[in-house]
Amino acid sequence: MELDEKVGEWWHRYVTKKASRQFATQAVFFNDHANALKLFFHLLGGEQGKALHITDKRSINTSRTLMERFSGTGKSFHLAWQDDKGIYLPSSLAYFPQQQHNEMHYYWLVALLAQGTSIGQHQVQADNDRLIQMLLEKYAGFRDFYATAHSFLIENYPELACLNVDNTTLSQVSLQADYPHPLWIYPAQHSSNQRLADEDDEAEAQRQRESDKTDTLQMKKKSEQRDDRKKTDGLLLFLPEAIMTFMEQVNVDRQENDSFNENAIYDAQELDEIIEARKDTTVILHSLADYRRVLPIDRTGEVIEAHPDFMLVVSYNPGYQNVMKGMKPSTKQRFISLSFNYPKADIEQAVIIKESGIDQATAQKLVAIAAEIRQLSDTDIQEAVSTRLLIYAAKLMTKGFDPYQACMHSIVESLSDDADVLAVLEKLISLHFAKSR
């Protein structure tokens, strides 16, 4: 009896292996890339609140090969999809004989899901056609992968042969027997009853949040002043009516050592990153920035009175400083504040062209890369890419540097030393600038 069971198990494994058209030895697993895929999802504009999950198999009534019928396989599939709470991906991917293509397959599916488009139950192909066209137009780095993957699948899966073999456009014919396409995303798995229940639960939760918010507002006695948590620059102004007659500045910039330089007060050229200054230096500004408008020099006993047109302007980045490097509330309250973000895309592009001499098409790609990196939250990356880094990359390119390498050395490696972050940023750069072989 034991021998019969062992033979049966061996036969089942053998038939199942023969029936499989996947490459198990080249498989890539979701759990090994979950953190990187989450970062990539955020980079391409995916909703920050969505979590990444492994999807369950779906039973699909489709045609099967003879070996699949013998082994009992080919009746269910892991499909990529999303709902309001998260995105769902296969636990592993092994459709292709090269492991790098199976890894890229994950990033391809995440890129489709990051567009936030709901796939209709009766227009799966039309919705995927549109998303694929958009990705191929926007990211040159996906074109080689899609061309290779699409051709391979059509060649090895006869069920997909009805699709046009053209790698840039898909035909509008229906899939044979609704065989699931590995490069597509699909509608959410919820039934209509489950969706209604979820909507009821969400409505109740929303009502509870509104009630809690009302109670909090009623209990709050005074407002609090907080640093902006976004990765943006900030600007503090004093005496705004004199902004066009700015006369002088006081240098409280970074100190090379702990010595006090009195001449810096007289010879100031610019006032930048005030939170990098020593605390005893910023305190000196208090009497100058409030109603007294005087600057005392303790060592000489002088008291310098500000000119009537004098205005003090300081700037700092509120997004990355910790408790030890924040601006003192007593200093901040002596200024009025003006927040500003990164320049608009066309302005930033013009700045890069002017400062580096790079061509417009390349500058546009650099700005697009920056916009995607800036979508990451504080938990993903500590500091976003600045216009300065984009100019550095552009200058390297004008000097003959390979665009991919210029971005890696000027942008990616300047932002993080975390392995997952570096891998995802490298993937992003390769979508815009082809990696040299």
What does the domain layout of the chain look like in residue ranges?
20-192, 234-339, 345-432
Answer whether 319's CB lies under 8 Å from 229's CB.
Answer: yes
Quote the pLDDT of residue 213.
55
List, as one string, the DSSP characters of 34-55.
HHHHHHHHHHTT--TTPEEEEP
Give me the pLDDT at residue 65, please.
58
The terminus-to-terminus CA distance of the chain in angstroms comes to: 58
Contact yes or no for 236/337 (Cβ under 8 A): yes
Residues 131-171 pLDDT 10s = 999 999 999 999 999 999 999 998 888 777 665 544 444 44
Pairing between β-strand 80-82 and β-strand 86-89 as defined by DSSP bridges: antiparallel
Closest to 226 in 3D by CA, of 381, 337, 378:
337
Distance CA 390, CA 410 (A): 8
Q: 284 with 330: CB under 8 angstroms?
A: no
Distance CA(417)–CA(421), nearest Å, equals: 8
pLDDT at residue number 57 = 83
Phi, psi of 88 (to 5 degrees): -130, 125
pLDDT of residue 136: 94
Contact, 303 vs 297, CB < 8 A? Answer: yes
Which pLDDT value is given to residue 18? 52
Tell me the C-alpha distance between 111 and 123, whole Å.
19
Low-confidence stretches of the chain (pLDDT beneath 70): 1-20, 60-75, 161-178, 190-273, 275-276, 278-280, 318-325, 377-380, 437
HSE-CB for 425 with a 13 A CA cutoff = 28
Q: Which residues in 389-420 are b (16+ Cβ under 10 Å) and which e?
A: bbbbbbbbbeeebebbbbbbebbbebbbeeeb
- Quick check: helix, strand or coil at residue 314? strand
Give the β-pairing of 86-89 and 51-54. parallel
- Nearest-angstrom CA–CA distance, 437 and 434: 9
Q: Is the dihedral angle over the CA atoms 143, 145, 151, 157 positive or is it negative?
A: negative
Residue from 96, 180, 110, 77 nearest 145 by CA: 96
Q: Which of 359, 312, 367 is nearest to 342 (CA)?
A: 367
CA dihedral 204, 205, 209, 214 (to 10 degrees): 10
